[in-house]
A and B are shown apart, each in its own frame.
Chain A
Amino acid sequence: MSDAGGTGSADVPRLLPNPDRDSQAWWDALARHEFVLQRCDACAAWRWPPREICNRCGSFEYTWTPVSGKGTIASWVVNHRAFLAGFELPYAVVNVRLAEQDDCKLIGSFRGPIPSLRGGLPVRAVFDDVAESVTLISWEPDE
């Protein structure tokens, strides 16, 4: 196994999302800098990723609803290999537990000092414009 590893390179653009019919609304909202999630009209549960049905009560009725953008780090990794193109090593990816609901978690990049990473770290969402009309949610420390 080579030491640096991977064919990923920071000079090559990163892969962009390929929306499907369930996710198009999510990516469109992010491009407008709106952080909204589907919230069940019947039982009020939040969910992510986008799905037409509520995973708690089975209702198809929901409303795209703004979230606070606050959460805590449930888990995190620091990449020391270029698994995919477009990233400078090392880079961190976090799994964030949303303030709205304990079991609704999002993956995202971490925009903060890597040594500050720990489970439970409060974070807030930031919009990351990575290409024309393509925005991602990333996370920065909130303390």
Chain B
Amino acid sequence: MSDHQFRDRAAIVGVGATPYSKNSGVSTLTMALRAISAAVEDAGLTLDDIDGVACHRVNDSAPASIVAESIGKQDLHFFLDQFGGGSTSHAIVGAAAMAVATGQAECVVCWRSVNARSEFRMGGTGRPPPDQLEFQYQYPYGYAHPPQQFAMIASEYMTNYGATSEDFGAVAIAQRWYAERNERALMRTPLTMEDYLASRWIVEPLRLFDCCLETDAGIAVVITSAERARDLRQAPVTISGAMWGSGHTLFSNRRPDLAISGSAAASPRLWAQAGVGPGEIDVAEIYDAFTPLVLIQMEDYGFCKKGEAGSFVRAGETGLGGSLPVNTHGGHLSEGYVHGLNHCVEAVHQLRHECGDRQVEGAEVALSTGQGGYVMGNSSAVVLRRAP
């Protein structure tokens, strides 16, 4: 604990998830309710204890107000229905922690619930382009969907910093190793560099195994004060720092280098608030809608110099026993794509030392990040700590 206004004042005390699947067979509302109930149960609380709700969505999920009404809330103390995809995933956790730290609310539940495979595929496949200001400049060229936009970033990262396909492949392979040891993960068979390089192009320079798994799932976390957390069921995990940052929208204007994400400017604030630096992070869950995002963010959060994350991963440093285990659940690439909140949940499991064969020994401090600020123009992250 410290006398910092925010640092370690709020804690994640419960986590919950539905099974991951290609077709949940139920609504996003139902999945949200199931994940919330599981998270509340995990915390040793009841739904009556919840007085705040926070979610993010892009018109692809049930609104926060309907979820709140469904669990019987008639006088919410805090709500947040954030527009945005994975770049806002950790902003809702940070906002919930602020609400608790400032006394606006006592106990806030955050969730993300998506039928991202069976109903609303972020990657396109028939979905019309989002109703967003800047898409008029993109879709007339047959360009509007995340794999295309992130391939554009990957291309510039390769041109400017010499990143290679093998660097991207090493990320996918390292994460698959963890997924083999994660019973929640959807992809659990070993992946080799030969498999990776033989996989088909989706949009060059991204291959199939560079892309996340669009998934149906609901995920929830419960946040309350660090003080109250001490009396609850689980080992409390405090929120040491939370970051809001900006990013790129149409890949023009004041941002000449696409390979530098919005987190590069914002991460020093996160480290200062959390009172730790990249060298003190035991495990990092880094948003990985596509493999290059992991490398770019590792650099922008200060774990590696620009252009050096690929060789770091190829040297095995992000594996178990390496100097920085990364995406120990398998990430969006191999566990499933729940738009960032599953990274936060994995960080909590690691800090609670519940991860079995993929546990990072003695993990005490974790970084968990949202998407680094591309397309939507915002980024977010948290630093979490196992409370002493």
Residues in chain A within 8 A of chain B (CB atoms) = 1, 3, 5-8, 14-20, 23, 47-49, 55-56, 74-84, 86-87, 90-91, 93, 95, 97, 102-109, 118-120, 130, 134, 136
Contact size range, B: 35 or more
Please, how many angstroms separate the alpha-carbon atoms of A117 and B99 in the complex? 50
Ranked 9 nearest A-B pairs via Cβ:
A119-B159, A75-B156, A78-B204, A75-B155, A7-B126, A77-B151, A103-B256, A87-B142, A80-B201
Mind listing 5 A-B residue pairs with CB under 8 Å? Answer: A15-B129, A15-B139, A17-B140, A77-B148, A77-B152
Report yes or no: B252 in contact with A105, Cβ–Cβ below 8 A. yes
Q: With A79-B203, A81-B202, A105-B252 as known contacts, state yes or no: A14 contacts B142, CB within 8 Å.
A: yes
Please, how many angstroms separate the alpha-carbon atoms of A95 and B151 in the complex? 11
Report yes or no: B137 in contact with A8, Cβ–Cβ below 8 A. no
Within 8 A of A (CB), among B123-142: 124-126, 129, 133-134, 136-142
Closest to B126 in A: A7
Within 8 A of A (CB), among B111-170: 124-126, 129, 133-134, 136-145, 147-148, 151-153, 155-156, 158-160
Within 8 A of A (CB), among B354-380: none
Q: With A17-B136, A119-B155 as known contacts, state yes or no: A48 contacts B253, CB within 8 Å.
A: yes
| New A-B pairs, 15, CB < 8 Å, besides A74-B258, A105-B252 | A20-B133, A47-B253, A48-B250, A75-B251, A75-B258, A77-B151, A77-B155, A77-B203, A77-B204, A77-B205, A83-B148, A93-B148, A95-B152, A105-B251, A134-B140
Most chain-B Cβ atoms within 10 A of its Cβ — which of A8, A75, A80, A134? Answer: A75
Report yes or no: A76 in contact with B152, Cβ–Cβ below 8 A. yes
Residues in chain B within 8 A of chain A (CB atoms) = 124-126, 129, 133-134, 136-145, 147-148, 151-153, 155-156, 158-160, 200-205, 208, 250-256, 258
Q: With A20-B133, A119-B155 as known contacts, state yes or no: A84 contacts B142, CB within 8 Å.
A: yes
Report yes or no: B250 in contact with A6, Cβ–Cβ below 8 A. no
Residues of B with C-beta under 8 A to A84: 124, 129, 139, 142-145
Residues of A with C-beta under 8 A to B140: 14-17, 130, 134, 136
Report yes or no: A83 in contact with B200, Cβ–Cβ below 8 A. no
